[in-house]
Amino acid sequence: MNKYETIKVHYDNPMEKAITIVFSREKQLNAMNSLMVKELSTLIDEIDSVKEKYRVLILTGGGEKSFVAGADISEMSNMSPNEAKLFLSSAQNALLKLEKLDLPVIAKINGFALGGGFELALACDIRIASQNALLGLPEVTLGIIPSAGGTQRLTKLVGESIAKYWILTAKRLKAKEAYNFGVVHEVCEPQDLDEYTNKLIEKIIGLAPIALVKAKKSIQSTFWKNTILGYEDELNNAVDCFESDDLREGMKAFLEKRRANFENK
């Protein structure tokens, strides 16, 4: 098994036949940087090689504040368009691997799930959130767009009209509001998140594993046939944003904790 710097993986945890991935950049609120994307992709390959031994995969964030707060803006702000394309395409591919994995995947959302963190949760099959979770795709506040499948998965989930409203207004949703739209499947108090998740894990482990995988593949089949080109468009449009002064201003403003002054340049 590989060793990872930004991610922890626990096999047969929290119970036998379950795997738990913990994003572990707690000081950065588990923000997703290039190394985390690379390690996640490698780890999914590792899990794929032993998937017959397991029944379910759980993703969560280290600490109590954040699932994954988004991409690491301090890193992204210095990227050239070509560097950004490499990073964003790697993130897209890692989440596509996760989505295609022949295991049910649960996002255990214990805090911030914004930008790339929300996109990561959307790539999972089931999402459970604590009451203090905050979800959304606020990328336009930075001069960029959701770039790891968010424009595609969110639209599929809630429809074009709602997806446009949320993305174009940088809306952030509390867990209960996300639940009302079917984006989150269960909401509980923070202290109950482990219990809620473990009950669901136990239920899934007790079901027929081949049938679960075939059901997942069948549900996803139409989505893949109709929207795979949308991922290419999303990536190209995101990279175009890196040509703009507005993106540099948006990311600089974020890091300086001030309001951005966009000039449409």
Q: What is the pLDDT of residue 114?
A: 97
Count of domains forming the chain: 1
The verdict on residue 204 lying in a domain is no
Q: Classify residue 83: in a domain, yes or no.
A: yes
Strand order in the sheet with 66-68: 66-68, 112-114, 134-136, 172-174
**pLDDT tens digit sequence for 106-154:** 999 999 999 999 999 999 999 999 999 999 999 999 999 999 999 999 9
Q: Is residue 234 part of a domain?
A: no
Residues marked as catalytic? 119, 139
Across 95-99, 201-205, 234-238, least confident range: 234-238
| Residue 195 forms part of a structural domain | no
- Residue 264 domain flag: no
63-66 contacts at long range (C-beta below 8 A, 24 or more positions apart): 63/26, 63/29, 63/30, 63/111, 64/110, 64/111, 64/190, 65/26, 65/29, 65/111, 65/112, 66/26, 66/29, 66/30, 66/110, 66/111, 66/112, 66/113, 66/117
256 lies in some domain: no
Residues 207-249 pLDDT 10s: 999 999 999 999 888 777 667 778 888 889 899 999 998 889 8
Q: What is the mean pLDDT of residues 47-54?
A: 96
CATH of the domain at 178: 3.90.226.10
**Domain annotation covers residue 229:** no
Mean pLDDT of the chain: 94
- Residue 127: give the domain boundaries: 7-190
Q: Is 56 within the bounds of a domain? A: yes
